[in-house]
Amino acid sequence: MKLLANDTPFEVEAMQLEMIRQTPVWRRLEIVAELNESVKKMALAGLRSRHPNASPTELRRRLADLYLGPELAERVYGPLATAALPEPESD
């Protein structure tokens, strides 16, 4: 079997995979949902940092750009209305 991670010994990786296989499906789905929520929170934190004056609506729209790509997000949610928003001042 090929290693999935170059920094993990084969024996350890085999043990990890066996533990995952023994985990009930409901728990694996719960873990995936928790990871997805963590990724969303980190993405929103990054967006808030880059766009401190953005409204919650704008942040959600920018998050859609990250998830879907700008082209598809615009087709689904409409254009990102930023023309009236001031850009943050740079130091």
Query: What residue segments make up the domains of the chain, in order of their start?
Result: 10-77
Residue 29 identity: L
Residue 87's pLDDT is 52
- pTM for this predicted structure: 0.71
- Structural contact between residues 11 and 27, judged by C-beta atoms closer than 8 angstroms: no
Each residue's pLDDT tens digit, 18-54? 999 999 999 999 999 999 999 999 999 999 999 999 9
Instruction: Determine the Cα–Cα distance for residues 60 and 55; give it in Å rounded to an integer.
Output: 9
**Alpha carbon 61 to its chain's center:** 14
Instruction: Determine the Cα–Cα distance for residues 52 and 63; give it in Å rounded to an integer.
Output: 14
Instruction: Determine the Cα–Cα distance for residues 3 and 7; give it in Å rounded to an integer.
Output: 9
Residue 61: count other Cβ atoms within 10 Å of its Cβ. Answer: 20
Each residue's pLDDT tens digit, 68-90? 999 999 999 999 986 444 455 55
Confidence of residue 7 (pLDDT cuts 50, 70, 90): confident
Average pLDDT, the chain: 89
Residue 6's pLDDT is 82
